[in-house]
Amino acid sequence: MKKTLLFASLITFAVFSCGEKSTSKETHAEAHASSDGTTAKALAVKSSKSTTAIIDGYLAVKDALVADDQATASIKSVALVSDLKAYDIASSQANDPEELERLQVEATGFAEKLAAGDIAAQRESFQSLSVTMKEFLKIAGADRTLYHQYCPMYKGNKGGMWLSANEDIKNPLFGSSMLTCGRVEETLALN
Protein backbone atom coordinates (compact mmCIF):
# COMPACT_ATOMS: atom_id res chain seq x y z
CA MET A 1 0.00 0.00 0.00
CA LYS A 2 2.80 2.43 0.93
CA LYS A 3 4.69 1.63 -2.28
CA THR A 4 1.55 2.20 -4.35
CA LEU A 5 0.94 5.53 -2.65
CA LEU A 6 4.58 6.57 -3.12
CA PHE A 7 4.50 5.55 -6.78
CA ALA A 8 1.25 7.46 -7.38
CA SER A 9 2.76 10.53 -5.69
CA LEU A 10 5.86 10.35 -7.87
CA ILE A 11 3.81 10.01 -11.06
CA THR A 12 1.64 12.96 -10.05
CA PHE A 13 4.75 15.02 -9.29
CA ALA A 14 6.34 14.15 -12.66
CA VAL A 15 3.22 15.07 -14.63
CA PHE A 16 2.75 18.40 -12.89
CA SER A 17 6.43 19.37 -12.69
CA CYS A 18 7.02 18.84 -16.40
CA GLY A 19 4.46 21.45 -17.34
CA GLU A 20 5.62 24.16 -14.95
CA LYS A 21 8.81 26.07 -14.38
CA SER A 22 9.81 26.23 -10.76
CA THR A 23 12.74 27.84 -9.06
CA SER A 24 12.29 26.51 -5.54
CA LYS A 25 15.16 24.44 -4.21
CA GLU A 26 12.79 21.84 -2.79
CA THR A 27 11.22 21.15 -6.20
CA HIS A 28 14.66 21.16 -7.84
CA ALA A 29 15.86 18.45 -5.45
CA GLU A 30 12.77 16.32 -6.06
CA ALA A 31 13.19 16.64 -9.82
CA HIS A 32 16.54 14.91 -9.47
CA ALA A 33 15.08 11.92 -7.69
CA SER A 34 15.10 8.67 -9.56
CA SER A 35 11.93 6.83 -10.47
CA ASP A 36 11.90 4.92 -7.19
CA GLY A 37 12.11 8.06 -5.04
CA THR A 38 15.80 7.77 -4.19
CA THR A 39 18.56 10.02 -5.39
CA ALA A 40 20.14 9.36 -8.78
CA LYS A 41 22.61 6.50 -8.75
CA ALA A 42 26.22 6.89 -9.78
CA LEU A 43 27.94 4.80 -12.42
CA ALA A 44 31.74 4.87 -12.55
CA VAL A 45 33.26 5.26 -16.02
CA LYS A 46 36.95 5.31 -16.80
CA SER A 47 38.61 8.61 -17.51
CA SER A 48 39.46 8.96 -21.19
CA LYS A 49 40.41 11.96 -23.31
CA SER A 50 39.86 9.94 -26.51
CA THR A 51 36.11 10.60 -26.42
CA THR A 52 36.33 14.39 -25.91
CA ALA A 53 35.45 15.31 -29.52
CA ILE A 54 32.53 12.85 -29.56
CA ILE A 55 31.12 14.18 -26.28
CA ASP A 56 31.57 17.79 -27.44
CA GLY A 57 29.77 17.00 -30.71
CA TYR A 58 26.94 15.18 -28.96
CA LEU A 59 26.43 18.05 -26.48
CA ALA A 60 26.44 20.59 -29.35
CA VAL A 61 23.60 18.68 -31.03
CA LYS A 62 21.75 18.49 -27.70
CA ASP A 63 22.10 22.24 -27.16
CA ALA A 64 20.77 22.96 -30.66
CA LEU A 65 17.71 20.80 -29.99
CA VAL A 66 17.17 22.50 -26.62
CA ALA A 67 17.13 25.81 -28.55
CA ASP A 68 14.68 24.40 -31.15
CA ASP A 69 17.34 25.03 -33.81
CA GLN A 70 16.88 22.38 -36.50
CA ALA A 71 19.52 23.86 -38.84
CA THR A 72 22.28 23.96 -36.22
CA ALA A 73 21.39 20.46 -35.01
CA SER A 74 21.83 19.28 -38.60
CA ILE A 75 25.21 21.01 -39.00
CA LYS A 76 26.49 19.79 -35.62
CA SER A 77 25.38 16.23 -36.37
CA VAL A 78 27.61 16.17 -39.47
CA ALA A 79 30.59 17.02 -37.26
CA LEU A 80 29.52 14.36 -34.75
CA VAL A 81 29.40 11.74 -37.51
CA SER A 82 32.97 12.66 -38.46
CA ASP A 83 34.14 12.43 -34.83
CA LEU A 84 32.46 9.05 -34.36
CA LYS A 85 34.02 7.66 -37.54
CA ALA A 86 37.45 8.98 -36.52
CA TYR A 87 37.35 7.28 -33.11
CA ASP A 88 40.14 4.67 -32.92
CA ILE A 89 38.85 1.60 -31.12
CA ALA A 90 42.21 -0.17 -31.26
CA SER A 91 43.92 2.52 -29.20
CA SER A 92 41.04 2.79 -26.72
CA GLN A 93 42.13 -0.25 -24.68
CA ALA A 94 38.46 -1.10 -24.18
CA ASN A 95 37.73 -4.40 -22.48
CA ASP A 96 35.05 -5.18 -25.11
CA PRO A 97 36.26 -3.80 -28.47
CA GLU A 98 33.67 -5.77 -30.50
CA GLU A 99 30.77 -4.25 -28.57
CA LEU A 100 32.40 -0.82 -28.73
CA GLU A 101 32.66 -1.13 -32.51
CA ARG A 102 29.01 -2.17 -32.77
CA LEU A 103 27.97 0.85 -30.68
CA GLN A 104 30.20 3.15 -32.75
CA VAL A 105 28.49 2.03 -35.96
CA GLU A 106 25.02 2.32 -34.38
CA ALA A 107 25.74 5.81 -32.98
CA THR A 108 27.08 6.93 -36.35
CA GLY A 109 23.86 5.77 -38.04
CA PHE A 110 21.68 7.72 -35.60
CA ALA A 111 23.90 10.81 -35.94
CA GLU A 112 23.61 10.60 -39.75
CA LYS A 113 19.81 10.59 -39.46
CA LEU A 114 20.02 13.82 -37.45
CA ALA A 115 21.37 15.68 -40.49
CA ALA A 116 18.07 15.43 -42.36
CA GLY A 117 14.42 15.79 -41.54
CA ASP A 118 12.34 18.09 -39.44
CA ILE A 119 13.07 18.77 -35.79
CA ALA A 120 10.63 16.08 -34.59
CA ALA A 121 12.52 13.45 -36.59
CA GLN A 122 15.81 14.85 -35.30
CA ARG A 123 14.60 14.54 -31.72
CA GLU A 124 13.57 10.95 -32.28
CA SER A 125 17.00 10.11 -33.74
CA PHE A 126 18.68 12.02 -30.91
CA GLN A 127 16.85 10.00 -28.25
CA SER A 128 18.02 6.77 -29.91
CA LEU A 129 21.53 8.20 -30.24
CA SER A 130 21.50 9.07 -26.53
CA VAL A 131 20.78 5.49 -25.48
CA THR A 132 23.62 4.25 -27.68
CA MET A 133 26.01 7.00 -26.55
CA LYS A 134 25.51 6.10 -22.91
CA GLU A 135 26.45 2.47 -23.63
CA PHE A 136 29.37 3.59 -25.81
CA LEU A 137 30.78 5.85 -23.07
CA LYS A 138 30.37 3.14 -20.42
CA ILE A 139 32.91 1.11 -22.41
CA ALA A 140 35.08 3.83 -24.00
CA GLY A 141 35.18 6.19 -21.03
CA ALA A 142 34.60 9.92 -20.77
CA ASP A 143 36.56 13.09 -20.07
CA ARG A 144 33.94 14.59 -17.74
CA THR A 145 31.03 13.68 -15.51
CA LEU A 146 27.79 13.32 -17.45
CA TYR A 147 24.20 13.13 -16.28
CA HIS A 148 21.71 10.65 -17.71
CA GLN A 149 18.49 12.64 -17.73
CA TYR A 150 15.01 11.31 -18.37
CA CYS A 151 11.68 12.84 -19.39
CA PRO A 152 8.69 10.57 -18.66
CA MET A 153 6.38 12.45 -21.05
CA TYR A 154 8.32 11.93 -24.30
CA LYS A 155 6.71 9.79 -27.04
CA GLY A 156 3.24 9.68 -25.56
CA ASN A 157 4.47 9.02 -22.01
CA LYS A 158 6.83 6.21 -23.05
CA GLY A 159 9.74 8.37 -21.90
CA GLY A 160 13.07 9.36 -23.37
CA MET A 161 16.60 10.02 -22.18
CA TRP A 162 19.65 12.13 -23.01
CA LEU A 163 23.05 12.96 -21.56
CA SER A 164 24.01 16.36 -20.19
CA ALA A 165 27.19 17.95 -18.85
CA ASN A 166 25.33 19.47 -15.91
CA GLU A 167 22.47 18.56 -13.60
CA ASP A 168 20.14 21.35 -14.71
CA ILE A 169 17.35 20.02 -16.90
CA LYS A 170 17.24 21.49 -20.40
CA ASN A 171 15.12 19.05 -22.36
CA PRO A 172 16.24 18.50 -25.99
CA LEU A 173 13.33 16.13 -26.66
CA PHE A 174 10.75 18.91 -26.23
CA GLY A 175 12.83 22.08 -26.42
CA SER A 176 11.03 25.27 -25.44
CA SER A 177 7.62 23.58 -25.22
CA MET A 178 8.69 21.65 -22.08
CA LEU A 179 12.20 22.88 -21.37
CA THR A 180 12.48 21.76 -17.76
CA CYS A 181 10.61 18.47 -17.98
CA GLY A 182 12.82 15.69 -16.69
CA ARG A 183 15.03 14.42 -13.92
CA VAL A 184 18.51 13.04 -13.40
CA GLU A 185 18.37 9.25 -13.42
CA GLU A 186 22.06 8.45 -13.18
CA THR A 187 25.43 10.15 -12.91
CA LEU A 188 28.24 8.85 -15.09
CA ALA A 189 31.13 9.78 -12.81
CA LEU A 190 34.80 9.44 -13.67
CA ASN A 191 36.79 6.74 -11.89
- CA nearest to 128, candidates 144, 152, 147, 112: 112
Strand, coil or helix: 43: strand
| DSSP state, residue 173 | T
68, 175 contact by CB (below 8 A): yes
Q: Provide the residue type at 6 as one letter.
A: L
What's the rounded Cα separation, in Å, for the pair 190 and 132?
19
**Cα pseudo-dihedral 170, 173, 176, 178, rounded to 10:** -80
pLDDT per residue as tens, the chain (191 positions)? 444 443 444 444 444 445 443 333 222 223 334 443 446 789 889 999 999 999 999 999 999 999 999 999 999 999 999 999 999 998 887 889 999 999 999 999 999 999 888 999 999 999 999 999 999 999 999 999 999 999 999 999 999 999 999 999 999 999 999 999 999 999 999 98
Burial class, 1, CB count within 10 angstroms (exposed 0-12 / middle 13-18 / buried 19+): exposed
Provide the CB-side half-sphere exposure for 92 (13 A, CA).
25
pLDDT of residue 33: 44
Position 101 scores a pLDDT of: 96
CA 174 to centroid of chain Cα atoms: 13
Residue 189 · residue 44 · CB < 8 Å: yes
For residues 49 and 53, give the distance between their C-alpha atoms in angstroms, rounded to a whole number: 9
pLDDT value, residue 117: 81
Q: How much is the pLDDT for 18? A: 52
Buried b (16+ CB within 10 A) or exposed e, 68-88: bbbeebbbbbeebbebbeebe
Quick check: 123 and 172 in contact, CB under 8 A?
Answer: yes
